[in-house]
Structure 1
């Protein structure tokens, strides 16, 4: 753990000394590359995941099934995560809620970058175009910007075994979900941690059921839930059953200063 502690200490000092993104990326890539080339730092982390049942049961689940969380800064300024890329699995194109630096630890990883051409006039629509691609080998790094500026896809190049990448993420500017993109359908959808994704699925199911009782439950959920991304799911589903009620909910949340407001404002424009 000394290597991880040393890395986190240097990174913390870097973030305290500057808010310049180029400077953070430049030094962050140096630090992350150095750590990635010393896989001994993974010994204790992987031992616990591989052998400790209680640790595995009690860990915090995230939206990414291939993620191993190594460290989360108590103040929320950064996190360090490991991703395992199975050559048999095709991972979706996605964006991030923060800036990030990525280093290859083992194998080879193909990164494809995408430019957002447009988001459709209805939620769930998005058109992308591939803008660049590169292969990362151990110690090599890349960077990502948050939201629509950092849409990319990563996948294993080596077919005989999994590839591994180490990810440093900065402070989140969008919490609660990831956006995944389907290139064939020109669509975008949200993925949350397994606990909340179950609730989001229930809300979407209610929106597909054309019954008064379904609209009633959705109205209750929209009013009661404190998480903005879940509240949005409830109102969006409610709009399918009771447009007027959904508009009132949106106006109330926007007037109350809900953050981030962009999703709510865009949905309101569509419904009006």
Structure 2
């Protein structure tokens, strides 16, 4: 059985072996899929709880003492989501229950203004059970649950997302704002 303890052990080994984002993403993705596939061993009814103010619920499964190697179950409320945002760290997301619409963006500006960005939509990915999405530290995407039921996905990050200086991006105004999420332990 590939449980959380084995998954975290493998994450630690990968993090100790390399800092190359592409290599990390390539090695973590199949392990995240393997762990997500065994959802009967870790997914609990409480992981389907959403935060009405956020539109989604973030449930911490694991975090190292230094805030690295964070694993979350995220529940997305029906017909809700999260605007364009970055993570400030590498990310591997696997669909667990339901389909989520991920829109990836390219940033066109030169990043000289920390409070402003110009984004253009690059692609849309419908991620269902077992589908994986990888993002580099500067990758920007939005997530939407277009269905009538709560969806859940597994998120693995190089660092806890409230400790990375991450941002949201307003597609109309270009405004960039820092964001911190409500997280359930």
TM tier relative to shorter chain: 0.7 to 0.9
Superposition RMSD on alpha carbons, in Å? 2.9
1:7 is aligned to 2:7: yes
Which of 180, 191, 195 does residue 179 from structure 2 map onto? 191
Contact 2:76 2:150 in 1 (8 A): yes
Distance change (3 Å), C-alpha of 1:121 and 1:21: closer
More helix by share: 1
Aligned residue pairs total 178
Contact 1:32 1:103 (8 Å CA) reproduced: yes
Q: Kindly tell me: are residues 88 and 115 of structure 1, through their superposed partners in 2, closer, same or farther at Cα, counting changes over 3 Å?
A: same
Aligned: 1:152 with 2:141: yes
Find out whether 1:100 has 2:88 as its counterpart. Answer: no
Which position in structure 1 is the counterpart of 2:130? 139
So what's the TM-score if we normalise by structure 1?
0.58
After superposition, the Cα gap between the structure-2 partners of 1:121 and 1:99, relative to the gap in structure 1 and judged at 3 Å, is closer
Q: Does 1:23 align with 2:51?
A: no
State the Cα distance separating 1:10 from its structure 2 match.
Answer: 1.6
Unaligned runs of 5+ in 2: none
Separation of aligned partners in 1, 2:159 and 2:80: 29
Alpha-carbon distance in structure 2 between the residues aligned to 1:85 and 1:23:
29
Distance of 1:173 and 1:47 partners within structure 2: 20
2:3 aligns to what SS in structure 1?
helix
Alignment of 1:118 onto 2:109:
yes
Query: For 1:173 and 1:90, how far apart are their aligned partners in 2?
Result: 17
Separation of aligned partners in 2, 1:130 and 1:114: 4
* 1:108 shift after superposition: 0.6
Displacement of 1:92 in angstroms is 0.9
1:257 is aligned to: none
Larger Rg: 1
Report the counterpart of residue 155 of structure 2 in structure 1: 167
Tell me the SS of whatever aligns to 1:92: strand
| 1:68 CA drift (Å) | 0.7
- SS of residue matched to 1:5: helix
Deviation per residue, 1:34-89 (Å, 9 max, x gap): 1111212334x545997xxxxxxxxxxxx995211111012433110111111222
Contact between 1:124 and 1:189, CA under 8 Å: does it hold in 2? yes
Cα deviation, residue 135, structure 1: 1.0
Shifted more, 85-94 versus 165-174: the winner is: 165-174
- Mapped partners of 1:189, 1:77: distance in 2: 23
